[in-house]
Amino acid sequence: MGPPLSDMEQLLRRARPEPSLAFTQDLEASLVDSRRARRRPSWRPSPRRAQRLVVAVGGVAAFAAAMLVLSIAGVRPLGTGGTNGAEAGQRCVSVTEWRVQREPVVTVTADGRLRLGGRPRLVPQQHLRCR
């Protein structure tokens, strides 16, 4: 089969350590006891923590309800406070003006250098004219 085992290797194989029976039983008992010690799943919060969570959610809901009532009533910070928004007069007209604007262009010259240039382009601009 294979080459013969040396004396040291044979000695090590025979002297393989094994735990005592008492140690094995104690270890298994401690593992089983630790599982029994858990009464509730880990995802379920403790009663004290659940109470804190309910109080926090209730507080946030009360604050949101108060802000909603205030905004409906028109009180700041969420309401308009009774002021009217700015409105343009009837004599104002939106006008589009076309302007020439230089568009940057990068080109490569014959010797491999980069050159920055510009190309004219028509660009629309919106303006409000009032009389």
**89 domain residue, yes or no:** no
Give the pLDDT confidence score for residue 42 in this predicted structure. 66
Q: Structure tokens of 110?
A: 């014959």
| Cα-based distances in Å from 51 to 38, 40, 48, 58, 85 | 21, 16, 5, 11, 46
Give the pLDDT confidence score for residue 77 in this predicted structure. 63
**5 domain residue, yes or no:** no
Give the pLDDT confidence score for residue 15 in this predicted structure. 81
0.75 exceeded by the pTM? Answer: no
For the chain, the domain total comes to 1
**53 domain residue, yes or no:** yes
Q: What is the mean pLDDT of the chain?
A: 81
Task: Read off the pLDDT of residues 66-81 as tens digits, 9 standing for 90 and up.
Answer: 988 887 877 766 655 5
- Between 1 and 106, the more confident residue is 106
Domain limits at 64?
49-77
49 backbone dihedrals φ, ψ, rounded to 5°: -70, -35
